[in-house]
């Protein structure tokens, strides 16, 4: 069960949020063109759904090692330099993600000192914004997970 969650968590949530975007936009289009009306929640729902799916897609790409990389040059290097360059790049990336976890957590904590409700949905902005440090934390976990699995495989190949 846990292996299925590990393998499909981001995909399932991404599909859900992208479906939410499509349904919200479709609802808004139908209401505007057929009924000369608008749903106040539809635009916000579409925006948040898109933001959530982008962050989840980033986490999914980390897990699958599908981010864009310039590997043509790296593959021409000797194995030791290949590993060094990939580990260095991932170390810098991991440091950036850790920095973003800290900074977005600080920002989210500031939102707990004020009250700001979203105009369309009427929910507190802090609950929506908490998603961002959570996703950066998941991305951090996925980067570490890639290296843990590479270690378990006896450092065969590259951590790609």
| pLDDT of res. 5 | 84
Which pTM value belongs to this model? 0.86
Q: End-to-end distance of the chain based on CA atoms, in angstroms?
A: 26
| pLDDT of res. 107 | 93
How many alpha carbons fall within 13 Å on the CB side of residue 3?
A: 0
| pLDDT of res. 42 | 92
| pLDDT of res. 155 | 82
| pLDDT of res. 160 | 66
Which segments of the chain have a pLDDT < 50? none
Give strand pairing partners of 117: 124
Q: Which of 139, 132, 60 is nearest to 103 (CA)?
A: 132
Are 27 and 111 a contacting pair, CB within 8 Å?
A: no
47-50: Cβ within 8 A, 24+ apart: 48/128, 49/17, 49/18, 49/20, 49/21, 49/24, 50/17, 50/18, 50/21
Q: What are phi and psi of 141, to 5 degrees?
A: -60, -45
Cα separation of 124 and 118, whole Å? 6
């Amino acid at each position: 069960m846990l292996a299925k969650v590990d393998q499909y968590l981001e995909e399932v949530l991404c599909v859900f949020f992208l479906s939410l975007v499509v349904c919200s936009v479709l609802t808004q289009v139908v209401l505007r063109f057929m009924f000369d009306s608008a749903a106040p929640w539809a635009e916000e729902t579409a925006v948040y759904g898109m933001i959530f799916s982008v962050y989840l897609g980033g986490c999914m790409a980390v897990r699958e090692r599908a981010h864009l990389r310039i590997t043509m040059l790296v593959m021409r290097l000797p194995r030791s330099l290949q590993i060094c360059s990939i580990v260095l790049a991932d170390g810098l990336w991991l440091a950036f993600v850790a920095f973003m976890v800290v900074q977005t957590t600080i920002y989210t904590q500031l939102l707990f000192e004020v009250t700001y409700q979203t105009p369309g949905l009427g929910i507190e902005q802090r609950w929506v914004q908490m998603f961002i440090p959570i996703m950066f934390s998941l991305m951090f976990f996925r980067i570490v997970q890639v290296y843990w699995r590479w270690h378990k495989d006896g450092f065969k190949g590259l951590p790609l």
